[in-house]
Amino acid sequence: MTLVRNGREVSHQDGGRLEFSTAEFGAYRVELHIPGAAGRPPIPWVVSNPIYVGAPAPPAPPAVPSAGTFTSRYTDGPATGWTVEKSPRSEGVLNVTPTLGGTRLSFRFALGGTDAESPFAALVMNADPPLTGFDRISFTATANHPMRMSVQLREPGGGEGQRWHRSVYVDETARSFTVLFADMTPIGHTRDAHPTLDRADAVLFVIDTVNARPGSNGQIWIDDVKYGR
């Protein structure tokens, strides 16, 4: 059993019971590992939902109201307007792969470097058409093993720009996701509590050490990406 805080291991115990005391705020999760698991590092057998310490757990999100209008950003064909960004010692590769009904985006990643280097890999979509007039992004996603992916909006300006995010859980089962822009929260210090949509220049699908360890690797498939309102 391993206890992870904000993507970093803080306690480990062999056997069926782990006790840990802390007053340090964070998003914790428990991972259960079994001998001989596949992958490098080995893929956990069970990954818990977040356990929030030091602040009340966020309320369950309300049901997302249906959108009446959509603008497609990817359904089939080449990955026009899509790129990969990564930290210096991480890797990320974007491919278009065939499916029974067309194609989808494939993103392979490996996080390299130390915690201090904040390794990350991101699949990046430019924000054209502008997000003004939309209130959400929807997509389908699946992964080769359970993980959390951060969906982010970025405004340009000053180094890496200002960003807001919301994470989603992906695994081997294909699921549809809808992220409301109003539900995104700031990453670090931002000028505004919520993104200003007419200034956003990119949507990012990010794997970083908030939700994964250095050395982690995997593959995510994304399809049917669209803005809605």
Question: Which residue, 124, 177, 116, 127, is CA-closest to 148?
Answer: 177
Question: In this predicted structure, what is the pLDDT of residue 62?
Answer: 64
CA distance 225 to 140: 7
pLDDT digits (tens, 9 = 90+) for 87-141: 999 999 999 999 988 999 999 999 999 989 999 999 999 998 889 989 999 999 9
> When comparing pLDDT for 195 and 220, which is higher?
220
CA distance 162 to 155: 5
Domain 70-228 falls in which CATH fold? Answer: Jelly Rolls (2.60.120)
Walk across the sheet containing 82-86 and list its strands.
Answer: 82-86, 120-126, 202-208, 147-155, 162-170, 185-187
pLDDT at 214 > cutoff 90: yes
* Sign of torsion over alpha carbons 203, 205, 208, 214: negative
pLDDT confidence band for 58 (50 / 70 / 90) = low
Q: Please give the pLDDT value at position 229.
A: 92
Q: Does 39 have pLDDT greater than 90?
A: no
What are the residues facing 207 on neighbouring strands?
121
The model's pLDDT over 131-190, given as tens digits with 9 standing for 90+, comes to 998 999 999 999 999 999 999 999 987 677 899 999 999 999 999 999 999 999 999 888
Which of 154, 159, 156, 171 has the alpha carbon at shortest distance from 206? 154
Q: How many CB atoms lie within 10 A of CB 215?
A: 12
Which of the four pLDDT bands, split at 50, 70 and 90, describes residue 59? low
Residues of the chain with CATH 2.60.120.430: 70-228
